[in-house]
Amino acid sequence: MSSKNNTVRPFNMAQDEYEKMFESSLPSSFAMIVFFDATAGHTAKQQSDFRQKVTEYISANSESNFIKQLMSHPKSGTRLTLEMFVERVIGWDAEKPTTDSDYAIVPFTVSFYEESQVSTQIALGTTVAMKRYDVLVLKNNSIEPHKQVLFPVTEEVATFDKRAIGDIYKSGAGIWCRELVEKRNMFSITLWAIMLGLDPEVEWKKFIQAGGWYYTQYPKLCP
């Protein structure tokens, strides 16, 4: 494997583009993507079963205020489209995104896309981008682009990222901004809670009360 002489370009964007995107306003509609990674220590069958549990939970609790908030646009309140994928990512094993053991076991990634019709390739691209963002947050203890110091990766990883992400975010189709941080935290903790057999609404309240600010702090923050 080649030496680590490359750096991650968040969302395959220049730093000024990245910072501008993070402060941008939400589009009027977008899809929420959940990518269940069948390479994260879980088989495709396990991930498919997990996806089914998520579907059943949302359906069974569709009239609760918690699910209504979870599944609605933060501004307009309109219902969001949810797309879920279970895939084994070829090439993702080139290098683990981080050596942090807690993060390494996260078997899902939540991302956002402007259009309601989401392909597997789009889901992969937004997933790779958000996984790299997660690593930047963990390494720098901040969600702020200007406070994040980029980290070195191998040429293989840099090439994989560039091909997977492409122009998804440069074109404005992929979405990530400050206004979506809470939405992503809330949905990610809901997924964790379902996986652990816990009540997502209770766990979300515990996370907020404990002063949580990023979903990777869960479940350690809420014993």
What is the percent of the chain where pLDDT is above 90?
61
User: pLDDT: is 107 or 192 the higher one?
Assistant: 192
Q: Which of 1-10, 79-88, 112-121, 158-167 has the lowest mean pLDDT?
A: 1-10
Kindly state whether residue 222 falls inside one of the protein's structural domains. no
Question: Which H or E run includes 103?
Answer: helix 101-104
Mean pLDDT, to the nearest integer, of 186-198? 94
Contact 191, 218 (CB under 8 A): no
20-62 pLDDT, tens per residue?
999 999 998 899 999 987 665 667 788 889 899 999 999 999 9
pLDDT at 104: 45
Please say if the pLDDT value at position 69 is more than 90.
yes
Kindly state whether residue 184 falls inside one of the protein's structural domains. yes
Kindly state whether residue 74 falls inside one of the protein's structural domains. yes
Kindly state whether residue 223 falls inside one of the protein's structural domains. no
Kindly state whether residue 119 falls inside one of the protein's structural domains. yes
Domain that holds residue 157: 6-217
> How many Å apart are CA 105 and CA 43, to the nearest integer?
13
Q: Which of 40-54, 65-79, 100-114, 118-132 has the lowest mean pLDDT?
A: 100-114
Kindly state whether residue 1 falls inside one of the protein's structural domains. no
Contact 188, 35 (CB under 8 A): no
Helix (H, G, I), strand (E, B) or coil at 149: coil
pLDDT at 95: 42
Domain count along the chain: 1
Kindly state whether residue 176 falls inside one of the protein's structural domains. yes
Angstrom distances, CA of residue 133 to CA of 57, 68, 194: 28, 27, 24
- Please identify which residue in the block is written with the tokens 């206004």: 179
pLDDT tier at 73, thresholds 50, 70, 90:
very high
pLDDT at 40: 57
Mean pLDDT, to the nearest integer, of 119-148? 92
Question: Which H or E run includes 2?
Answer: none
Mean pLDDT, to the nearest integer, of 97-124? 74
Q: Cα torsion for 196, 200, 205, 211, to the nearest 10°?
A: 50
160-178 pLDDT, tens per residue?
889 999 999 999 999 999 9
